Amino acid sequence: MADTIRILVADDQADILDALRLLLSDEGYDVTAARSPVEALGRLEASDFDLAILDLNYTRDTTSGQEGFDLMERIRALDPTLPVLVVTAWSSVAGAVEAMRRGARDYIEKPWDDERLLVTVRTQVDLRRALRKSHRLQEANTRLQRGATPVFVCNSPGMLEVRQTIERIAPSDASVLITGEHGTGKEVVATRLHALSDRRTRPLVTMNAGGLAEGIAESELFGHVKGAFTDARFDRIGCFELADEGTLFLDEIANMPVRLQAQLLRVLQTGEVQRVGSSRMRFVNVRVLSATNACLPAEIAAGRFREDLLYRLNTVVIHLPPLRDRREDITPLAVHFLAHYSARYRKPIEAFAADALDVLMAHSWPGNVRELAHSIERAVLMADGGARAVTARDLNLPRVPRAGTSPDAHSLEEAERIFIEKVLARHDGDVRLAAQQLGMSRSALYRRLQQYGIRE
């Protein structure tokens, strides 16, 4: 039947597998069991699933959860849209927090409550179906909306200043480096800079500087001529020429291979590009914007980024603070996304219930504005048909054990503190590496270390 929902369950304990299989098959789900991470990956490669439920610990290494995390990472590489639920012992809050950080949608505590587990499963399955449909719609919309000035919601002092800076420098040709954690709005800033500049009627070309193999990246940037290499059957225009008279946005600039950085620097100095395999120089008039979530001075110190290139890119630097450091933006952003998604899904919802606002303010938003947008989209989809307000239940943000519910109940902050300590210990106290793994800037990590009294 086309509508059968397929769930993969991975656990090394036969009794847990049996219990889950019975429970889920009774509900009409088609359940496939896997006894090891290798078997789970094999199953996922062989066919399509709607949901995966994973244990974090397997026999080889039964406490750290590392095997489970590795498995999650490989699953994300295979299918980034597959929702993953993790099963953890109730005492392992830090494990659950880390799993959520790595993209798990929710977690199930062992021993579980059958009703609650089924609700969690149903929510994720419905959500996946709805999101798939909406993303197809979204793609169609973005193609139409190209060129419009993106909405930039802000209320915190830091972001109001960012908005002013954008308005002030947009009309100039200054190179702008945009920094900030994942999901803080770097692309929104780049798009706005272009849309408010005199180049707005010309193209804004985005290139992900880290996403391509070195040889391909070179021809992507500069183009190539027929015969330049084996597969080059036609001349091809590169991003620089495509962006002529317009704006070139180099995303994830820290990931650009060092050799390509040297070539980029040369083009920025001379304003001339040479297609791969051609000796002809072509003059281009391009404004360059770039973005990164890495700490470029640290990348320079490690020999992975050219200092002279940084000075070409950072005439102006716009730093976007993580959402948890600008809480005044949470409500206005939430209201903005609510209007957007209730219009898109034709729901009459126009407000947040008080408990929903509390939950939004209490959450630490490791995924920043993108996570907030996704949470509101999900809440709008999940809210009852006639509801006028989003409730805390619709938001379904990661549940954290309340104080007093178990002997070692932790608040979210406590869980975060333990988590940071663990990551720091894993990197022998190296703050740079720990910050990288946590996906936060070094200064943000330092602030937390002080806040939690881990370091002076």
Ligand X SMILES: Nc1ncnc2c1ncn2[C@@H]1O[C@H](COP(=O)(O)OP(=O)(O)OP(=O)(O)O)[C@@H](O)[C@H]1O
The DSSP 8-state label assigned to residue 407 in this structure reads T
Per-residue contact string for residues 167-196; x = within reach of ligand X by CB under 6 A: -------------x-xxxxxxx--------
- Binding flag, residue 444, ligand X (CB under 6 A): no
Closer by beta carbon to ligand X, 90 or else 152: 152
For 229, the token pair is: 């290499």
Closer by beta carbon to ligand X, 57 or else 191: 191
Q: Spell out the SS3 assignment of 202-221.
A: CCEEEEECCCCCHHHHHHHH
Task: State phi, psi for 455 to the nearest 5 degrees.
Answer: -135, 155
Task: State phi, psi for 343 to the nearest 5 degrees.
Answer: -70, -45
Beta bridge partners of 149: none
Per-residue contact string for residues 169-208; x = within reach of Mg ion by CB under 5 A: -----------------xx---------------------
Residue nearest to Mg ion (CB): 187
Closer by beta carbon to ligand X, 137 or else 354: 137
Closer by beta carbon to ligand X, 257 or else 439: 439
For 288, the token pair is: 């360059």
Rg over alpha carbons for the chain, rounded to the nearest Å, is 24
Cα separation, 431 vs 454, whole angstroms? 12
CB atoms within 10 A of CB 345: 15
Q: Which does 124 bind (CB under 5 to 8 A by kind): Mg ion, ligand X, none?
A: none
CB of 186 to ligand X, least distance (A): 3
**Which of these, 76, 135, 65, lies nearest to 107 by C-alpha position?**
65
Cα separation, 219 vs 209, whole angstroms? 12
**Which of these, 83, 123, 120, 124, lies nearest to 104 by C-alpha position?**
83
- Binding flag, residue 32, ligand X (CB under 6 A): no
For 15, the token pair is: 């009794």
Closer by beta carbon to Mg ion, 30 or else 187: 187
What is the footprint of ligand X within residues 129-168 (CB under 6 A)?
Answer: 151-154
CB of 190 to ligand X, least distance (A): 8
Q: Which does 373 bind (CB under 5 to 8 A by kind): Mg ion, ligand X, none?
A: ligand X
Closer by beta carbon to Mg ion, 291 or else 445: 291
Can you give the binding site for ligand X, defined by CB under 6 A? 151-154, 180, 182-188, 293, 336, 369-370, 373
Can you give the binding site for Mg ion, defined by CB under 5 A? 186-187
